[in-house]
Chain A
Amino acid sequence: MKEKDSFVDCPEQQLILYVEKEDGTYGPVQTGSFITKNYINDFFEKRQRLEMSLKEQVRKKEISPIACYMTLEDLTPAETASRVGISVRKIKKHMRPEYFPKIKPAILEKYAEVFDIKVIQLMELYNG
């Protein structure tokens, strides 16, 4: 890729690309993220729709708030179990709405930390 083709005006997200300079040498340039510049709105819109759809499923008691946030953060049961510090079997139970009220407060705190939210958000989501 030539240096002249590499520049993207995106101050919010900068990165280093290796390009061919005018003198034929290859070297780094600092530029903006192409996908952020051109597609970030699509990303946010998709995420918003996904979040609405998942929260609706929680309200209808089809999934638990845990399952909702695991999907939003692309976390598998195995990965979530390792991060929260409990078994995969328990994670799978917690993904079902009927088990959510039985989750111990200390575990809810850990879930909240992994999802980077507050425990109250999990509770409010469950209670509709």
Chain B
Amino acid sequence: MTTIPYKHQMAAHCESGTLTTMLNNSGLAITEPMLFGITNGIFFGYFHHSKSFAFPTFIVRSRPGEMRKIAERRLGAKFATATFRNPDKGMEALDRLLELNIAVANQVDFFYMDYLPEWERVHINVHFMTVIGKEGDDYIVSDSYFPRLAHLHKDSLRKARFAGGNMSPKGFIFHPLFVPEEIQYEKVIPKGIRKACYNMLKLPVPFIGVKGIRKFASRITEWPTLTRDTEHLSHEIMKINILLEDQGTGGAGFRYMYATFLQQAAEKLNRPEYHDFSKQMMEIGDNWRKFSLFAARIGKNRDLGPEKMKQLSEMLYELAGMEENFFKDLYQTV
């Protein structure tokens, strides 16, 4: 088997990156920020207690898998999808599609992506990448987080596709059946903005959206009571930086990418006011980045007493206020 012709590109985030690259390779010119914005990817959620997470954590984007479904609806695209109970059948189905020269996106457990640095790889079942070929026992992978095409052994791919745990992939694969030639920006951009604002402002759930940022602000001061020792607290505080900057957000918890979307939306819709919103979101992103860099610094220095925890909390309350004002104003425009 050989490699399917496929233009690989790095992207800020795995799901939006995989989708964007797949759509680009199918002839649709769309940027990752535009796809992210149209599919209302920007979000916030804080989880203080969870059976799936060993420690409180937060998310900064919509539920994994939603982008593809919304992209189908709003762009008028169509994807073939499949899940499998039997791993053998799942791997055979992948091989058959590759033999038909079809590049196949896979949902996988990030832990088994052996081509990525070891310290990056954690058990998280919602990584997306595209398989575009096979050479011997290795699959050829186009992964948004890797600068070039990668090789992944069939055993690692099988484990990754069929890992158990929260949001287990169940061998999920997809590929495009139909991709439109054009996008009706004047319809889909306002829809994406409206839904993003609704999610950040109106969902009646106390740990979601702006309420979620405030929940994070109020609970972070409790983190020292949840940790084994200072080293553990240091690890969890520094993970804030990883979740906001490193694990595929385009910087500042997707806020920089959303700013880019709004700038592009201003051009597509001839709405100059979106340039101002774009700048505001870039500034909000800068404040998230200040917060994440502060967290990394105090974590490294083990400077984690009550005063520093209070400072983290205050920064989050300020961010909540900024985002609330921003999304309220943005909501008025659609």
> A-side interface residues toward B, CB under 8 Å?
1, 6, 12-20, 25-28, 30, 33-36, 38-40, 42-44, 46, 49-50, 73-76, 78-79, 82-85, 113-114, 116
CB nearest neighbor in A for B121 = A116
Cβ–Cβ contact B53 & A76, under 8 A: yes
Q: State how many angstroms separate the Cβ of A94 from the closest Cβ of chain B.
A: 16
Are A78 and B52 in contact, CB atoms less than 8 angstroms apart?
yes
For the complex with contacts A15-B248, A18-B256, 13 further pairs of A-B residues with Cβ separation under 8 Å are A6-B251, A12-B117, A15-B10, A18-B257, A25-B263, A26-B33, A36-B119, A38-B296, A73-B123, A75-B123, A76-B50, A82-B166, A83-B165
Which segment, of B173-181, B202-210, B238-246, faces chain A? Answer: B238-246
Say whether, besides A28-B12, A74-B55, A46 and B251 are in contact (CB < 8 Å).
Answer: no
Q: Count contacts on B: residues with CB < 8 A to the other chain.
A: 55
Shortest beta-carbon distance from B49 to chain A in Å? 11
Q: Is B18 an interface residue (CB 8 A)?
A: no
- The reply to whether B242 and A35 form a contact with Cβ atoms under 8 Å apart is yes
Question: Is B80 part of the contact surface with A, judged by Cβ < 8 Å?
Answer: no
Also in contact, A17 and B123, with CB within 8 A (given A35-B296, A82-B164): no
B294: shortest Cβ distance to chain A, in Å?
13
The answer to whether B165 touches A79, judged by C-beta atoms less than 8 angstroms apart, is: yes
B200: interface (CB < 8 Å): no
* Chain B contact residues, majority secondary structure: helix
B residues 122-166 with Cβ under 8 Å of A? 122-123, 144-147, 159, 163-166
Listed from nearest, the 10 A-B pairs whose CB atoms lie closest are: A78-B51, A18-B256, A83-B164, A26-B260, A17-B251, A82-B164, A16-B12, A18-B250, A74-B54, A83-B165
B33 engages A18 (CB within 8 Å)? yes
Closest to A31 in B: B251
Chain A residues near B286 (CB-CB < 8 A):
1
How far is the CB of A54 from the nearest CB of chain B, in Å?
10
CA of A20 to CA of B285 in the docked complex: distance in angstroms?
12
Residues in B neighbouring A27, C-beta threshold 8 A: 260
B98-117 interface (Cβ within 8 A of A): 111-112, 117
Cα distance, A30 to B144, chains bound together (Å) = 11
Cα separation A49 to B228 with both chains bound (whole Å): 13
B53: chain A residues within 8 A (beta carbon): 76
Q: A35-B245, A75-B54, A79-B165 are in contact. Are A19 and B10 (CB under 8 A)?
A: no
| Bound form: Cα–Cα A88–B296 in Å | 34
- Pair A30/B165 contact, Cβ less than 8 Å: no
Task: Identify 19 residue pairs between A and B in the complex whose beta-carbon atoms are under 8 Å apart, listed by A's number.
Answer: A13-B120, A16-B144, A18-B260, A27-B260, A34-B245, A34-B293, A40-B119, A46-B231, A49-B231, A50-B232, A75-B54, A76-B51, A78-B166, A79-B54, A79-B123, A82-B164, A82-B165, A83-B123, A84-B164
A17 touches B234 (CB 8 A): no
| Cβ-based interface call for B168 (8 A) | yes
Q: Which residues of B contact A83 (CB under 8 A)?
A: 123, 163-165
Contact check, A18 vs B251: say whether CB atoms are below 8 A apart: yes
A43 cross-chain contacts in B, Cβ below 8 A: 119, 235, 238
**Choice from A26, A39, A74, A85 contacting B282 with Cβ under 8 Å:** A26
B51 touches A15 (CB 8 A): no
Report the Cα distance A13→B161, complex, angstroms: 24
Nearest opposing residue in chain B for A17, CB measure? B251
Bitwise, B272-291 to A at CB < 8 A (1) or not (0) is: 00000010001001100100
Taking a contact as CB atoms under 8 Å apart, the answer to whether A16 and B10 are in contact is yes
Q: Is the CB of B52 within 8 A of A15?
A: no
Q: Is B189 an interface residue (CB 8 A)?
A: no
Across the interface, B32 reaches (CB within 8 A) one of A15, A20, A28, A85, namely A28
